[in-house]
Amino acid sequence: MAITGRDIALRAFSSHEWRMAADALFQATGATVSVMDFAYGDVIFGEQKCAHCHLVSEGSGEGTFSCFDLMPDPRSGAGRIVCRTGVAALYSPVLRDGRSVAHIVLSGFVTSTRERRGVYERLLSRGVSEDSARRLVKALPVISRRQAESYLHIALASARTVFDATVERLASRERMDELKLFVSAGRQVVTTEHLDSETLGGIAEEAVAMVGGEAGAILRPRGSVLEVLARTAEWRGAVGAVVPCASTASGRASETGKTVISQGKEGASATLAMPLLVSGRVLGVLEVRLAQSAVPVAPERLSRLGRFGQFVAIALEREDERTAVSRAMIGYSQLNELASELGGQTDINGVAALVLATIDRSFTFDVGGLVLTGWGRDRADVAIVDKISQADVDSALDIVSGRDGDQHPFAELNLRDRCIDADLPGPAVEERALSVVSLTYGSLDIGWLFVGRSDGERFGAQDNALLEGIAAHAGAAFGRAALFARIRDDYAKTIAALSATLDMGERTGRGHASRVMEYAMMIGGELGLDVESIEQLRFAGLLHDIGKTGIASEILLKPSALTAEELEAVQRHAEIGASIVDQIEFLKSLTPVILHHHERWDGRGYPHGLQGENIPLLARVLAVADAYDSMTTEHPYRQRLSSAGARMELQGSAGTQFDPRVIAAFFEVLDRMSLAGGTGLLAPREAQGRADLPA
């Protein structure tokens, strides 16, 4: 059963965080903060009756109905109301999706001595004794209307924060499950050499479970029919069977590229058919059989299934790619070395370097290379042999790309072996022998490979065939590299969402994990670490505090100093976090980084007391990034330091708490970014568009 707004309100406003906020406002102002549900007529937070309510109330009525002669409309916005004792109260709604789930009520005060007199007279008119009425009005603080409205806004802001945090906590388990599921699916996409029916059947089982279905299958368009690639155990039909597209939900989904939910006849199951899309192209259909009671499907479930379907689509596309590459390799045995090298390459720059090296080994030419225009890129990588004029290079690129380089220059031009002589005249176009083949990925044109020579010789059929073979491998490799980049981005986005939940759960400064990630990656770049290590810092920065999900919120949110036992519990978060990521294959390499990011250079850290170079380098980098952001971020128990103050603290701890080499690298990064205004150190954060970085 879905959790209602009232359910969330009941949990949020019975929480320790809300009690602390309401008590703090009362101590500061003397005004009482209550949370009421006007629709139900009850008090969610606060005494059932104010201390003086018995003076005018009859019987033992409970709830807001016994507080007011006239109840406000549950759908009303902010307003003012007078209770039965004549004391005014201000109220404002707490909204969820534009609907009121509760009202914050500020009461127990008067706005003037004249109003105090009015309360006194109202009490007398209701039969309250003069002595009791006098004691009551004397105890009421006088707060101006403007101040009262400000206090109500403060209470409302606190209420919204606590409400939103409660929503996040209730969703955290589901998000963690989704994260694990996506990481597991992504790992299969990346590591599986061949997606057979058994592997795809397991993926179909997970998809069916997402929407509470009864059975499911993955189908592939084959002309006018759909072929069953995989099925769950309860699915009718066999793998390899064909289903007609006409008059079927899956057929409509395949043709339109949109999700179709088909209601079955009375008593029969409904069908959900979701197209599996990559760049708008339908690669398959995920079909799920649903009980009638499961329809309509909740939007959030459909959204989750859609995100999961992206992984399935990528898996199918990778399978197509594998088949295409296998076919291309037949007949091109001389390209085995290139195929082997490209098989382990997932970086576009790395693929470009390998392709240029292969062209260099395979042809006699004076200018050659590649032009890449796919996936929003506009780059040319040119290999030059012997001396050549700039005009010659420009002419070759103009012919290959079909555009005027002077009017539309490339966004990125990489010249390898800069043997350019400005004094050399370029040869006439007709004197140049040029072989050009298209780079494609599926049906997408992503660029060109080319070689050119001006020595009077021509490229023969064998040269053209070889260049086509290189282009076939290069196109698949560039496609794979782009897919890997998309997968990494999907992982990062999913993990970033989880890290934002962790920040909210600890009431850490907003964006803490993202900033730690950025600082750590910048330090890694300054230290000259390889791309893989910097990628590890990317995910370790986002997940370094994931272990705090296993620590009681009362400890994490405690505004005062921790006891020895509480401090020991907090310190266990490194081991808890390491154990969490160690269970996820894709994140396993982060285990030592997260485990040891609180070790100290002098050996006095935790959990294992490692010292100096025995601490993993990435953990040392993460420690500095985490410390700097923690010092420059506001916390409930201490004020933040300025950047200069934080630098002094780090400098003073170099050689004791932190690796001096890492500190020096971080200072280089900060200095360089400060000069550029990158961190906002020399300019307002708003002016730099980076309000998430400390000033």
CB-CB contact of 571 with 606 (8 Å): yes
Are residues 70 and 165 both part of a single domain?
yes
Which of 447, 467, 483 represents a domain boundary (last residue)? 483
Token readout for 389 is 């004029």
Return mean pLDDT, the chain. Answer: 79
Backbone angles phi, psi at 224, to 5 degrees: -90, 5
- On whether residue 490 sits in a domain, the answer given is no
- On whether residue 182 sits in a domain, the answer given is no
CB-CB contact of 524 with 534 (8 Å): yes
Say what percent of the chain tops pLDDT 70.
79
Instruction: Walk across the sheet containing 412-416 and list its strands.
Output: 412-416, 379-384, 367-372, 444-453, 433-441
**pLDDT band for position 291 (50/70/90)?**
confident
**pLDDT band for position 622 (50/70/90)?**
very high
More confident residue, 417 or 663: 663
Are residues 346 and 290 both part of a single domain?
no
- On whether residue 497 sits in a domain, the answer given is no
Specify the CATH number for the domain of residue 408.
3.30.450.40
- On whether residue 128 sits in a domain, the answer given is yes
**pLDDT band for position 693 (50/70/90)?**
very low
Are residues 348 and 443 both part of a single domain?
yes
Helices (H), 544-613: 553-556, 564-571, 573-582, 591-595
CB-CB contact of 367 with 387 (8 Å): no
Are residues 33 and 125 both part of a single domain?
yes
Token readout for 326 is 């296998």
More confident residue, 502 or 344: 344
CB-CB contact of 174 with 298 (8 Å): no
Are residues 25 and 67 both part of a single domain?
yes
Region 366-379 average pLDDT: 83
More confident residue, 622 or 87: 622
- On whether residue 302 sits in a domain, the answer given is no
Q: Locate tokens 């009490």: which residue? A: 123
Token readout for 676 is 């550029």
Closest CA to 101 of 168, 5, 17, 176: 5
Are residues 159 and 218 both part of a single domain?
no
Say what percent of the chain tops pLDDT 90.
14
| pLDDT tens per residue, range 153-184 | 998 999 898 888 887 777 666 666 666 666 66
| pLDDT tens per residue, range 404-436 | 888 888 888 888 765 555 555 554 444 678 889
Predicted confidence at residue 663, as pLDDT, reads 95
- On whether residue 316 sits in a domain, the answer given is no
- On whether residue 192 sits in a domain, the answer given is no
Residue 27 has pLDDT above 70, yes or no: yes
**pLDDT band for position 477 (50/70/90)?**
confident
Region 576-604 average pLDDT: 87
Cis peptide bond prior to 427, omega within 30° of 0: no
CB-CB contact of 142 with 110 (8 Å): yes
Predicted confidence at residue 330, as pLDDT, reads 39
What is the number of other CB atoms lying within 10 angstroms of the CB of residue 639? 6
Are residues 359 and 452 both part of a single domain?
yes
Q: Which domain holds residue 624?
A: 507-688
Which of 277, 297, 317 represents a domain boundary (last residue)? 297
- On whether residue 308 sits in a domain, the answer given is no
Are residues 202 and 258 both part of a single domain?
yes
**pLDDT band for position 488 (50/70/90)?**
low
Specify the CATH number for the domain of residue 69.
3.30.450
Mapped onto helix, strand or coil, the DSSP state of residue 598 is coil
Q: Please tell me the chain's helix, strand, coil percentages from 3-state DSSP, rounded to the nearest 5.
A: 50, 15, 30
Domain count, the chain: 4
Predicted confidence at residue 59, as pLDDT, reads 44
Which of 297, 314, 343 represents a domain boundary (last residue)? 297
